[in-house]
Amino acid sequence: MRRAIDHQAQYVLGHKTPNILELYTLGRKLGQGQFGVTYLCTEISTGIEYACKSISKRKLICKEDVEDVRREIQIMHHLAGHKNIVTIKGAYEDPLFVHIVMELCSGGELFDRIIQRGHYTERKAAELTKIIVGVVEACHSLGVMHRDLKPENFLLVNKDDDFSLKAIDFGLSVFFKPGEVFTDVVGSPYYVAPEVLLKCYGPEADVWTAGVILYILLSGVPPFWAETQQGIFDAVLKGYVDFDSDPWPLISDSAKDLIQKMLCSQPSERLTAHEVLCHPWICENGVAPDKALDPAVLSRLKQFSAMNKLKKMALRVIAESLSEEEIAGLREMFTAMDTDNSGAITFDELKAGLRSYGSTLKDTEIRDLMDAADVDNSGTIDYGEFIAATVHLNKLEREEHLVAAFRYFDKDNSGYITVDELQQACTEHNMTDVLLEDIIREVDQDNDGRIDYGEFVAMMQKGNAGVGRRTMRNSLNMSMRDIVQQSRKMEYPQQSFLVSVLPMPPQNVTEEMVMECCLFSGMLLVYNAIWLNHKLLKDPMNT
C-alpha cells in the first residue's frame, strides 16, 4: 500500500544533515524536472564545480516516493568508483528539499556529441556501446538493475572526450537478487523490454534496452516505432526488428547479429551484459568496420534528438506550473475518501464519497468507474492509482497545461513557434548546441517552417521518452492493464489524452456517470476522457 507521508514527522534521508549552503554555493539552473531542479554548485572550500539536484519534498507525496529517493542515493554510493558512472559527492536535506550533489557533466548528451562530430563509423558506435554495456555489467555484478537506460541518461564530462561518458540517472534503479522477479512496469516507451510490459522480468531487461540504443546508434531511429505509446508497446511485444530498410543493407552482419541477440524476446536466450562485451563486433580489436556510416543516419539522429529536446522543454514548462498546493490538495482528497486510513479506497468508501456529494449513480455504475481506476485489479484504488490518474493525467497533459506550454514558446502570440522563439526558449533552459532547424523539421507537419498548436500537441502525444522520475512508471502501469493479455491489438484515436493510458474504457460507462463523477475528488477530466474515448471507439467520425 502507498501511504501519504508527514514531512514534518521525519527526515527523508532518515537523519539530520549539514546545511548545504554552508558547504556549497548554488549557481545557475542547469535543468528542470517534475520533482525538482538541477543547479550548478561550487564547493566553498575547494572551488570545484558540481551539479546539485534539489528534489522538492512537498512533491514526494507518499512513502514509496521517499523510498525511491533514498534508494537512488544508496545505489549511487554503491556504484561509486566506476569510471562511467557519475560520482555522488553527498546528500543533504533541509525543510523544503533533498539535495544530491554529484559530479558535473558539462560535455552534453551522447547524441549531441555524435551529431557534432559529423564523421561517424560502426567502430565508433561499437566503442560507445562498449561503454554503455560496461555500465550495465557493472550494475548487474553489484546487484543493481538500472531499469531506465536511454541516451538522455548518458552525459559527457568533457565534450572533447568521448570516453568521459557517464550514466547519470538512477531514479528507477533497484537492488536485485539472482532469480528475483519484478512486476512493476517502469522505463521509457521506446526502450522498454517486452517482459517488463508483461510484468515478469529481471536484469535481462537492461540488455534489451542497451540493444535498442545500439540499433539507434547505427540507424538513427528506434527499432520499435509508432505514432502512439500504445503502438510502440504493441511493436515491442511483436518483437520484429527491421534489418531491410536503409541503412541496414550497408551495416555489417556482425553488428546485426549482436543486435538480434540483444533484442531476443526470450530473456533466458538473450545475451548477458558480459557476453555482449565478448561479442566479436564489440570486443577489443573487434570486427566493427571503420568505414563512415550513411550520412542519413546522422540526419535521423538529429531529428530524433531534436523532437525529444522540444518535448523535454515543454514538459519542464508544464511541471513548473504544478504548484505544491495542487499536490497537497490531492493528498487531502485521498485522505478524505480513505476513511479507515488503510491506504486504499474501497468500493464502499467510493460509494459513500459520491453519495455525500449527492450522486445518484447505481452501485453497478460505481463499480464500473472503480474498475476503470483499479489498475492492478486489487478491488481497491490505492494511493498510487489515485495519484497516477490525477497527477499524471489530470495535470501533466491536460489541455490548459498544453496551451500554457505552447504560449510559453509562442512569445509574440502569433499562433506559431518560430526558430527565433525556440532559440530564446533554449537559452532560458540552458540548452546549448540545439539544432533548431531540426526541431522545426521534425515537428512541422505542413512544412511551413514553423510549429502551430496542432503540430505541438501531436508531438506531445507521440510515444516518447519518459515524462519524469515516477510519472512514466505511473503511465506505463496504467497502459499495461490490457496489453498483458495480448488480446486487444487495436490502436486508438489520440484526440483524448487518456487514450494511450487506458487501452479500453468500460463499455457500459454512460455520459451521465462521467458528469456526476466530477463531484468525486476533482477527477472530471479523467472520467470525461474515458467517456470521450468510449465515444471515439464507437463512432470516431461523428464525435
The string of pLDDT tens digits covering residues 420-478 is 888 888 777 666 556 677 777 778 778 888 888 888 887 776 654 343 334 334 333 33
Statement: residue 146 has pLDDT above 80: yes
Please indicate, yes or no, whether residues 271 and 378 belong to a single structural domain of this protein.
Answer: no
Q: Specify the CATH number for the domain of residue 181.
A: 1.10.510.10
Distance CA 371, CA 389 (A): 13
Tell me the average pLDDT across 503-510. 40
Please indicate, yes or no, whether residues 198 and 329 belong to a single structural domain of this protein.
Answer: no
Contact (Cβ atoms closer than 8 angstroms) between residue 282 and residue 133: yes
Tell me the average pLDDT across 141-163. 88
Tell me the average pLDDT across 252-270. 97
pLDDT of the residue at 209: 97
Please indicate, yes or no, whether residues 436 and 540 belong to a single structural domain of this protein.
Answer: yes
Statement: residue 409 has pLDDT above 80: yes
pLDDT of the residue at 131: 94
pLDDT of the residue at 306: 62
Q: Specify the CATH number for the domain of residue 346.
A: 1.10.238.10
pTM of the entire predicted model: 0.62
Among residues 243, 274, 293, which one ends one of the domains? 293
Please indicate, yes or no, whether residues 119 and 267 belong to a single structural domain of this protein.
Answer: yes
Which region among 19-23, 295-299, 484-488 has the lowest average model confidence (pLDDT)?
484-488
CA 150 to chain CA mean position, Å: 10
Contact (Cβ atoms closer than 8 angstroms) between residue 247 and residue 331: no
pLDDT of the residue at 93: 95
Please indicate, yes or no, whether residues 487 and 341 belong to a single structural domain of this protein.
Answer: yes
Distance CA 57, CA 43 (A): 23
Among residues 103, 122, 154, which one ends one of the domains? 103
Please indicate, yes or no, whether residues 238 and 324 belong to a single structural domain of this protein.
Answer: no
Q: Order the strands of the 24-32 sheet from edge to edge.
A: 24-32, 36-43, 49-56, 97-103, 88-93
500: domain range? 303-543
Distance CA 270, CA 281 (A): 16
**Residues identified as active-site:** 148
What is the number of other CB atoms lying within 10 angstroms of the CB of residue 46? 8
What are the two backbone dihedrals, phi and then psi, of residue 144, each rounded to the nearest 5 degrees? Answer: -120, 130
Distance CA 285, CA 291 (A): 15
Supply 162's cell numbers.
Answer: 568521448
Residues linked to residue 381 through DSSP beta bridges, in sequence order: 345
Statement: residue 153 has pLDDT above 60: yes
**Does residue 6 sit within a domain?**
no
Tell me the average pLDDT across 119-130. 87
Per the structure, the count of domains in the chain is 3
Statement: residue 230 has pLDDT above 70: yes
pLDDT of the residue at 1: 45
| Residues whose CB is less than 8 angstroms from the CB of residue 187 and which lie 6 or more positions away in sequence, other chains included | 147, 148, 172, 193, 196, 205, 209, 466, 472, 476
pLDDT of the residue at 321: 59
Contact (Cβ atoms closer than 8 angstroms) between residue 38 and residue 56: no
Please indicate, yes or no, whether residues 130 and 49 belong to a single structural domain of this protein.
Answer: no
Tell me the average pLDDT across 387-415. 67
Confidence of residue 114 (pLDDT cuts 50, 70, 90): confident
Contact (Cβ atoms closer than 8 angstroms) between residue 343 and residue 429: no
**Does residue 15 sit within a domain?**
no
Please indicate, yes or no, whether residues 118 and 187 belong to a single structural domain of this protein.
Answer: yes
Confidence of residue 161 (pLDDT cuts 50, 70, 90): confident
Calculate the dihedral angle through the C-alpha atoms of 498, 503, 509, 510, rounding to the nearest 10 degrees.
50
Note the residue count of the chain.
543
pLDDT of the residue at 493: 28
| Cα–Cα–Cα angle for 351, 353, 357, rounded to 5 degrees | 110
> Does 391 or 11 have the greater pLDDT score?
11
**Does residue 14 sit within a domain?**
no
Statement: residue 314 has pLDDT above 60: yes
> Does 206 or 464 have the greater pLDDT score?
206
**Does residue 85 sit within a domain?**
yes
* 166 in a known ligand binding site: no
Statement: residue 265 has pLDDT above 70: yes
Statement: residue 495 has pLDDT above 70: no
Among residues 41, 68, 103, which one ends one of the domains? 103
Contact (Cβ atoms closer than 8 angstroms) between residue 187 and residue 472: yes
> What spatial distance separates the first Cα and last Cα of the chain, rounded to whole Å?
39
3-state SS, 383-424, equals HHHHHHHHHHHHHHCCHHHHHHHHHHHCCCCCCEECHHHHHH
Q: Is 135 helix (H, G, I), strand (E, B) or coil?
A: helix
Statement: residue 326 has pLDDT above 60: no
Statement: residue 361 has pLDDT above 60: yes
Please indicate, yes or no, whether residues 252 and 327 belong to a single structural domain of this protein.
Answer: no
Distance CA 517, CA 539 (A): 23
Please indicate, yes or no, whether residues 167 and 92 belong to a single structural domain of this protein.
Answer: no
Confidence of residue 350 (pLDDT cuts 50, 70, 90): confident
**Does residue 204 sit within a domain?**
yes
Contact (Cβ atoms closer than 8 angstroms) between residue 532 and residue 525: no
Please indicate, yes or no, whether residues 132 and 243 belong to a single structural domain of this protein.
Answer: yes
Distance CA 461, CA 285 (A): 43
**Does residue 5 sit within a domain?**
no
Please indicate, yes or no, whether residues 523 and 377 belong to a single structural domain of this protein.
Answer: yes
- Looking at every residue in the chain, the average pLDDT score rounds to 75
Statement: residue 536 has pLDDT above 90: no
The residue assigned the cell 506531445 is 460
What is the number of other CB atoms lying within 10 angstroms of the CB of residue 201? 25
Q: Specify the CATH number for the domain of residue 97.
A: 3.30.200.20
**Does residue 4 sit within a domain?**
no
**Does residue 2 sit within a domain?**
no
